[in-house]
Amino acid sequence: MDNLSVFFLAEGEQSGDEVMARLTSFIRAAKQTLDFAIYDMRFSDHLHGQLAAALRERAAAGVEIRFCYDADKPFPPNVAAGQDPAPGGTGVFVQSLGYPWRRIAGMKLMHSKFVVRDGQSVWTGSANMTDDAFTLMENNIIEIDSRPLASYYAENFEDLWEKQNFEHTGDIHTEPVPLTFSNQPAKARVMFSPGCGLEIDSEIAKRVRAARRRVRICSLLINSGTLIGELGSLLRRRGRHGGWNL
């Protein structure tokens, strides 16, 4: 039985109600805890109502609910310096839900978004919790049912909750964890920035360096000098030997 699932979003291919139904289904399975780490969260009244109802149901059943959200950035932001380009409103939205919350400071972005349920399961991926992210953007949602992987996310959440600043978080030693995806065995490792940022950079570059036929990268932004250098090396190798698909 699969314990890893991936759902891809694209403009016009799913409604906000469909994605919210997935999220509320994940929430309603909680028995003890729900910890949200949020970058951007601003739903319309319609989707807000569905989310709030699911949270109220779980809170009434005794589930502990907490929110950490990216905050305390200058306005207007200096986007060139990596400051927060997201519209305002996340803090007001999160606080209006009525559960314990903490503003997470830092001069860059607390950009990872995830929900840890009962220390056992994780909702994560590229999608923010907004109408636009659910309906207009190329995004993905990953659901993981694995206590070992969830424990890493839980540790990262507690780090954020206690320090209330993400710049000294994420230095968590992790190991690959066995999973099942599409009825096939797999292994997955999660690493958190900024604490493991250099290791993440090195790992991606190493995998590019090991490529023999093809490299596919899907990213909003690439400004890693290490990765760009490895891609340049591949292009030079292709020029000498041919046969590359980059």
- Digit-coded pLDDT (tens) for 149-160: 999 999 999 999
Which pTM was predicted? 0.91
Domains and CATH numbers, the chain: 4-191 (3.30.870.10), 200-241 (no CATH)
Beta strands per DSSP E along 100-146? 101-104, 114-117, 121-125, 129-130, 139-145
Decide if 100 contacts 67 (C-beta within 8 A). yes
Residue 192 · residue 199 · CB < 8 Å? no
DSSP alpha helix (H) spans, the chain: 16-28, 45-60, 90-97, 131-135, 147-163, 197-209, 225-241
Cβ distance 75 to 91 under 8 Å? no
Cα 40–43–47 angle (5° rounding)? 140
Q: What is the pLDDT of residues 71-85, one digit of tens each?
A: 876 677 676 766 666
Q: Say which residue the tokens 């291919």 belong to.
A: 13
Question: Which pLDDT does position 10 carry in this prediction?
Answer: 96
Percent with pLDDT over 90 in the chain: 73
Amino acid at 183: N
**Amino acid 222: pLDDT:** 85
Tokens representing 174 are 């992790």
CB 141 within 8 A of CB 9: yes
Q: How confident is the model at residue 223 (pLDDT cuts 50, 70, 90)?
A: confident
Average pLDDT over residues 18-46: 97
pLDDT in tens, 93-123: 999 999 999 999 987 889 999 999 999 999 9
